[in-house]
Amino acid sequence: GHPVEVPMPAETGYGLDANRLIAEMGADTAAVVLTTPSNPTGQVFDPEAIRAVVEAAADCGAYVIADEVYAGLTYDRDPRGIAALTGHPEHVLTVGSCSKTYAMTGWRLGWLAGDRTVIDEVVKIHESTTACASSVAQNAAIAALTGPQEPFEEMYDAFEERRDYVVERIAGIDGLTAPRPDGAFYAFLDPEGVTDSLAFAKYLLGEHGVVLAPGSGFGDAGEGNLRLSFAASLDELEEGLDRIAAGVAARSP
């Protein structure tokens, strides 16, 4: 098989355009990957659009692979996962992780939830490639998932505050726009006139000392954009956005 990229339009803030995706699906579609909240755009997909795509996948006999590693960091939208939103949970394979919600990236602990027959086959490959996550990480994940959630709730509030700060700052920078992120910790910046995002990222790093991920790293459709991560303190974000503003202004005609 071969992967088919179906970029979502910037004009609608990279939301899920179900018709655009369904138009690319057919009898030979094995699986459709939906990442919500999205990296790099921070968008959370509309439940109606999600339902339409899952319906279409079920009609094609395809699975929806739901990458929901940022589900815990959903701010203004319905935080329920795709399997819970749809009438066809048996067609949904949900990917989750402790990396984002519990800041446990280094522990390498995630999961796949879905139809037993698929999971049994996945386990065969998993066992012979990685054996298993370490028991230390597994016990840490149990503690994170079943223990007191206050530390996570504090971080959730901090991320929401950072999101609001970043949105407000971007609105005040001439020549810079980004759709408002509803989840994750990214804003996908669209600096006016930038066509080579890698060159612009190198310029911002070299001349202004601030790091953004070039949009081209997320596929051809990301060219011209830059991803800002707000997994940083408010003070660091203030300084970083000052530098971005200076970099954009210095490049403006």
Ligand X SMILES: Cc1ncc(COP(=O)(O)O)c(C=O)c1O
Q: Provide the binding-site residues for ligand X, judged by CB under 6 A.
A: 35, 39, 67, 69, 97, 99, 105, 110
- Rounded to the nearest whole angstrom, what is the least distance from the CB of residue 113 to ligand X in the complex? 14
**Helix, strand and coil in the chain, % to nearest 5:** 45, 15, 40
Q: Which is nearer to ligand X, 16 or 245 (CB)?
A: 16
| Closest C-alpha among 6, 18, 12 to residue 85 | 18
Q: Which is nearer to ligand X, 216 or 245 (CB)?
A: 216
In the chain, the amino acid numbered 51 is R
Nearest approach in angstroms of CB 55 to ligand X is: 23
CB of 114 to ligand X, least distance (A): 16
Nearer to ligand X, 83 or 248 (CB): 83
End-to-end CA gap in the chain: 46
Query: How far is 245 from 169, CA to CA, in rounded Å?
Result: 9
In terms of Cα–Cα distance, which of 222, 240, 219 is closest to 230?
A: 240
Please say which residue, 185 or 200, places its beta carbon nearer to ligand X.
185
Q: What count of Cα atoms within 13 Å lies in the side-chain half-sphere of residue 167?
A: 14
Burial 86-100 (b: 16+ CB within 10 A, else e): beebebbbbbbbbbb
* Residue nearer to ligand X on the CB measure, 99 or 149: 99
**Smallest separation (angstroms) from ligand X to the CB of 174:** 30
CB 112 → ligand X: shortest distance, Å? 11
